[in-house]
Amino acid sequence: MTLSPHIPVLPQEVLSLLSQTTSSSPGWFLDGTAGEGGHSRLILEQFPQAKLILVDRDSVMLARALQNLESHRSRVFPFQMNFSEIDRSILEEAGCPGLDGVLVDLGVSLFHFLHSGRGFTFKQEEPLDMRLEPQFGNKTAADVVNYSSVIQLKKIFWDYGEERWALKIANNIVQVRHKNKFETNLDLAKLVEASIPRKFWPKEAHPATRIFQALRIEVNQELEHADKGIRSLASLLLPGGVIACISFHSLEDRIVKWAFRDLQANEDFSILTKKPILPTDEEIRSNRASRSAKLRGLSKILPI
């Protein structure tokens, strides 16, 4: 299988934020969403004396990241778990006294869309799964579609996809599944196509994009993990340490923004980015996946 080369988004902007750590010799960083390891590699190259805790909830992605970081392997400490589950005991297991920098990239890797075979895409027929942790047996996207009520489906599609046709799509799903359960991604994509009048289809995206996003968020509880993880990882920063978060849609960015504001208002933190940092036109041209990325940063204030 030939895989597309992975290009990390906002690479220099991430390094610039993490370099604002006040430590003269940063010792420990954490990449909470390893993905393909692109950002981790940049961090290890930028800080050649530092060690890095590498985290991903998906065992396939963690293995891919480690493969791409082979030349730095002695400085990498991998953990397969959700970044929201990281606590002081994980740091102690790695021998880490505290973190000088943290990166959380809330986007789903291009690998999942193109090569995972779990139904994230519209390009070929795959099981309607969408789990980022398939080995743990949590509910699949097919389970959600086949067994949720109309009201539950409408809420998922509206809250997590901001889909204006949420109720019509939910009603149509319930009508169709009485005869045939939804088993593949294309089963669902075709129903959504039929539910939305063609004149209202988005120009640059598949009409089912918002529905698929909503199901993926629901299946993996992504927004809950994002809020919990940002707050817990911020608490593990050393004074002067920095946390950088990349989001890819308004729901994620809102969570990052309000978590940062809350931490600044109630604890010893300072927001480093009054507005999110966006990719340049040049980056968008060379890496289309970056077009919706937003980067925000927060630092832990040094004691007076």
Which residues carry a binding-site annotation? 37-39, 56, 83, 105, 112
Establish how many alpha carbons lie within 13 A of residue 119's alpha carbon, considering only the half-sphere containing its beta carbon: 24
Are residues 263 and 102 in contact, defined by beta-carbon separation less than 8 angstroms?
A: no
What CA–CA distance (Å, rounded) separates 113 from 130? 10
Query: Kind and range of the H or E element at 137?
Result: none
Look at residues 184, 188, 54, 34 and name the one whose alpha carbon lies nearest to residue 111. 34
Are residues 135 and 27 in contact, defined by beta-carbon separation less than 8 angstroms?
A: no
Are residues 84 and 232 in contact, defined by beta-carbon separation less than 8 angstroms?
A: yes
End-to-end CA distance of the chain: 55
SS3 55: strand
Q: Which residues are annotated as a binding site for S-adenosyl-L-methionine?
A: 37-39, 56, 83, 105, 112
SS3 197: coil
CB under 8 Å to 158, separation ≥6 — which residues?
166
Look at residues 66, 53, 40, 57 and name the one whose alpha carbon lies nearest to residue 95. 53
